[in-house]
Structure 1
Amino acid sequence: MATLAPSVAAVRVAVRRALAGLPAQSLVLVACSGGADSLALAAAAAFVAPRQGLRCGLVTVDHQLQLGSADRAEAVAKWGEAFGLSPVVSTRVEVDGRVGGPEAAAREARYEALIDTARQVGAGAVLLGHTRDDQAETVLLALARGAGPRGLAAMPASREVDGVLLLRPLLDVARAETAAACEALGLEPWHDPHNTDPSYARSRVRALLPSLTEALGPGLVGNLARAAALAAADTELLDGLAAAAAVDAADGDGGLRVSALAELPAALRTRVLHSWARKLGVSGSALSARHVDALDALVTRWHGQGPVALPGALLVVREGGRLTASQG
């Protein structure tokens, strides 16, 4: 009897834990680019899901950002079908014209496509192939831009968007393990040139991480990922308190009562303002700490200043003890 490679076992165990508790016969989709991380994830899900009474399909997204991207998406789809995944969906997105830099625009387009596809085929969850290394890189990027606890919490293991669960089973699995799993299974991953393109911030961080690990010790990646988990736990509590505070501060007409906001600790007040801006339609990638600070100034540093401009041509003003928004 052949011995199961430890790397394959590690990925399967991670997937088994992520899928535990999903309703029987639920359909889950694996988001697969053909890279080592998502390929190892898809192979593991194809093995684990049926054994947990679940159905498993695959979705691949063509961002149209590279020559041959359509051929790549077609190859991934054919692989998924041959591997027994069903349904297999290949979808194309438009990245140009979106708010934010190319990385943020591509990410936003990708997630929209994943959620739309899941809803179309009746999938309750989408599995994403982010690893522990990806989590560490995300923390470093958050530190570099001066992010608060929400940014340092990096990527959640589970998040629901429009009724679809986004699950990241591999956040405790090293990138080296997914590569080893592919090798052990005889899978040939695609190497995305964007991963080594220095014009992308994440690629620069990825290139820097080995030097940081050499300087600060082999536990760096794991420690950064652990810091994200701790920040996520604190953020979950604060977000829950902020959600309750937002209800109390609502004026019933889409605005916020300044008196209620002024009574809140800064950590809760800024969260209420952030979530309110998002409900107004401001994109998360476009909403910055500068915008939230300007909104906070309408509450805590009021001296009759004019409206605060938010992305999406929204103007927020303080009038009659309320914060209200209108299209500029």
Structure 2
Amino acid sequence: MDRSSALTPLRAAVAGFARRHPADRWCVGLSGGADSLALTAVAAALKPTAALIVDHGLQTGSADVAAAAAAQARQLGCVDAQVISVDVGIEGGPEAAARTARYAALDAARGGAPVLLAHTLDDQAETVLLGLGRGSGPRSLAGMQIWDPPWGRPLLAVRRADTEAACAELGVTPWQDPHNTDPRYTRVRLRTEVLPLLEEVLAGGVAPALARTAAALREDNDALDALAAGHLAALCTDNGLPVAGLEDLPAALRRRVIRGWLLSVGASLLTDVQLRAVDALVADWHGQGGVAVSSPLRYQRLIVTRRAGLLTVASRPV
């Protein structure tokens, strides 16, 4: 291997991922941008790889962009390249709606294979900053996971500059998504304004530091989640979650037990604010009313109440 190659850090990252998470074949989520093109090239050189290109239909000429990405995937050695057209809704805003549609399409098309996504260390740093700004708790600050089945992110320790250099070495021209420079999007402003300013003020190294913080928090979260799962299995009943046994747990552990229980009874997309409000039914009980938590059904919400020493959940129409 040519150690001076711009592809070297990407090859090392993807090969390391393959050793830790074996699979006979892969799919790659390909947008046509530098990150996903570089990942596609490296993945296809290691094992049979199919490129999945999602056409969101949000920009003029998006079908042409998707077709060009499919052609590049075949040139880079992919065994297959599939363009998937999706309808993007409006729930949660344009970024969230597009992401929801994209992940659903990739999951439906992967045919049981893992899907590699080209998120880099720079993406991880932006994700941590978003979570920090929103006050969404340590789970959000822990950022993206390298392996979150069926999603694999082997490039989380690789810089965006490395993928751009790899594409130049490969002689492929990445698509420049105009959304990536549109200041209407929060992530774009983080990338182009906030992170450069932090790098200047703190004399560099901010993005790697944020990524290290995310890795440390993921380790802590994994350990606490494992402990919480044991407590939940011991406490949970068919009638609800007993307050006795929860009250004496440390707050961080207690909220994780509550989170696991809520997910098991149908809640979704739980926020730190919601979890703390439910936790107050245990740790700061003074006869308060129920707490609404998120449900996957648009026209239904779930209400958590405390009654006779139990936390219970009931559904209510919105």
TM-score, with length taken from structure 1: 0.88
Match of 1:59 in 2: 52
Residues 275 and 214 from structure 1, CA distance in 2 versus in 1: closer, same or farther, beyond 3 angstroms? Answer: same
Q: Does 1:14 align with 2:23?
A: no
User: SS of 1:305's equivalent?
Assistant: coil
Residues 134-189 of structure 1 show CA distances to partners (whole Å, capped at 9, x for unaligned) of 111111111111232211111111112xxx2x111111111001000000100110
Match of 2:131 in 1: 142
Alignment of 1:154-173 (within 5 A): 154-160=143-149, 164=150, 166-173=151-158
Other structure's SS at 1:88 match: strand
Q: 1 CA distance for matches of 2:80 and 2:231?
A: 43
Whether 1:196 and 2:181 are equivalent positions in the alignment is yes
Judged with a 3 Å threshold, the aligned counterparts in structure 2 of structure 1 residues 21 and 151 are, in CA distance, closer, same or farther, namely closer
- Secondary structure in structure 1 of the residue aligned to 2:144: coil
**1:207/1:294 Cα in 2 relative to 1: closer, same or farther (>3 Å)?**
same
User: Which of 44, 47, 52 is the equivalent residue of 1:46?
Assistant: 44
Q: What corresponds to 1:242 in structure 2? A: 228
SS in 2 for 1:261: coil
Is 1:290 the counterpart of 2:290? The answer is no
Counterpart check, 1:87 vs 2:65? no
Task: Determine if the alignment matches structure 1 residue 110 to structure 2 residue 102.
Answer: yes
- Match of residue 314 from structure 1: 302
What one-letter code is carried by the residue in structure 1 that aligns with 2:10?
A: V
Counterpart for residue 112 of structure 2: 122
Equivalent residue for 2:217?
Answer: 231
Q: Aligned-pair distance for 1:201?
A: 1.1
Runs of at least 5 residues in structure 1 that lack an aligned partner in the other structure? 50-54
**Structure 2 residue 148 is matched with structure 1 residue 179:** no
1:35 CA drift (Å): 0.5
Pick from 278, 296, 299: which aligns with 2:282? Answer: 299
Distance 1:23 1:232, change over 3 A: closer
Would the aligned equivalents of 2:52 and 2:84 in 1 still touch at CA under 8 Å? yes
2-side partners of 1:201 and 1:233: how far apart?
A: 28
The two structures, once aligned, show a CA RMSD in angstroms of: 1.9
- 2:29 alignment counterpart: 31
Moved more, 232-241 or 89-98: 89-98
Q: Is the contact made by 2:54 and 2:84 (CA closer than 8 Å) also made in structure 1? A: yes
Return the alpha-carbon distance in structure 2 between the equivalents of residues 5 and 181 of structure 1.
Answer: 11
Q: Deviations over 1:61-112 (max 9, x none)?
A: 12222222222222222322333312322223333143x2322222222222
For 2:57 and 2:2, locate their aligned partners in 1 and report how far apart those are by CA, in whole Å: 41
Residue number in structure 1 paired with 2:93: 101
Is 1:324 the counterpart of 2:312? The answer is: yes
Structure 1 vs Structure 2: percent identity of aligned residues? 48
SS for the counterpart of 1:7 is: coil
Provide the rounded CA distance (Å) in 2 between the counterparts of 1:73 and 1:281. Answer: 36
Among residues 47, 63, 70, which one is paired with 1:70 in the alignment?
A: 63
SS at match of 1:173: coil
Asked whether the 8 Å contact 1:5–1:184 carries over to 2, the reply is no
Aligned residues: 310
| SS at 2:175 equivalent | coil
1:11–1:173 contact (8 Å) kept in structure 2: yes
Q: Secondary structure at the match of 2:145?
A: coil
Q: Does the CA-based 8 Å contact 1:5-1:181 persist in structure 2?
A: no
